[in-house]
Amino acid sequence: MELNCLIVDDEPLALDLMESYVKRTPFLKLAGRCLNALEVLQLLQEKSVDLVFLDIQMPELNGLELSRVLDKQIKVIFTTAFEQYALEGFRVDALDYLLKPISYAEFLKAANKALAWFERVHEAPSFKEEPDCIFVKSDYKLVKVELSKICYIEGLKDYVKIYLDGVNSPIVSLISMKSLEEMLPASFCRVHRSFIVNLDKITVIERNRIVFGKTYIPIADSSKDKFMEFLNKRTIK
């Protein structure tokens, strides 16, 4: 992975040193070098930058102030001769803080930290906001349960029964209703202390009860508002 980086310092000699460090680091590509915040803002209109090595002590707009207006996708490593800025640097979500004079070893350590951060962001597996299945323990094994097949869940004292569409016997799992409820997406609603229903599977409602075959699931008073909100959105009046 290659990171486009920008070096910012109002001292040309400091820029030269940082540029030499960037060129020695295989995964860094120099996008530019700037002497002040105005040059940074102008450059960012033309180039894509991942990482900024940013001096704090600069005229007009200092590094801390500049970092607050940068795009949130751009990460910052502060460079400064003043140790008292360290805490403030981390408050603005900087990846690291380098104290001048900066050795290449210190620079490389901070750069590797940035690389690791970007690799986690870009290479982490992407999960859907809502899962399409869960795994539950049943009979000493983990069983995959497709959420779209769940009709309703019944909670008993220390375990639950998960009733699936087209399956005669429920899946029995030693898990609390609360723990299971936290795993489920918004299409599931706890309508009673002992029942969670898949709202997408409801076909019949009779006398304040949800009907699944020969099973009648009561709707508790505490759940009526949430359930009625779901129902009203899908009722032709």
User: Please, what's the b/e burial string for 23-60 (b: 16 or more CB within 10 A of its CB; e: otherwise)?
Assistant: eebeebeebbbbbbbeebeebbeeeebbbbbbbbbbee
Higher-pLDDT residue of 81 and 111 is 111
Least confident range of 77-91, 155-169, 216-230 = 77-91
Q: What is the mean pLDDT of residues 213-231?
A: 88
What superfamily in CATH does domain 3-123 come from? Response regulator (3.40.50.2300)
- At residue 170, the pLDDT reads 95
pLDDT, tens digit, 9 for 90 and up, residues 97-113: 888 899 999 999 999 99
- Residues contacting residue 106 through CB under 8 Å, at least 6 positions apart: 98
The mean per-residue pLDDT over the stretch 119-148 comes to: 78
* Tokens 């009625």 -> residue: 228
Question: Model confidence over 171-219: pLDDT tens digits?
Answer: 999 988 988 888 888 889 999 999 999 999 999 998 889 999 999 999 9
The amino acid at residue 122 is H
Cα–Cα distance measured from residue 194 to residue 213, given in angstroms and rounded to the nearest whole number: 18
Find the mean pLDDT for residues 75-79. Answer: 91
* CATH 2.40.50.1020 residue window(s) in the chain: 133-233
Q: pLDDT tens, 16-50?
A: 999 999 999 999 999 999 999 889 999 999 999 99
CATH number belonging to domain 133-233:
2.40.50.1020
Residues 6 or more apart whose CB falls under 8 angstroms from that of 139 comprise 172
Residue 237 has pLDDT above 60, yes or no: no
The predicted structure's pLDDT at residue 104 = 95
- Decide: 6 and 52 in contact? Cβ < 8 Å: yes
All CATH 3.40.50.2300 domain ranges of the chain, comma separated, are: 3-123
- Quote the mean pLDDT of the chain: 87
Helices 12-24 and 104-123, packing angle to 10 deg: 60
**Alpha carbon distance 122, 125 (integer Å):** 8
What are the residues facing 184 on neighbouring strands? none
Query: Is the pTM above the cut of 0.75?
Result: no
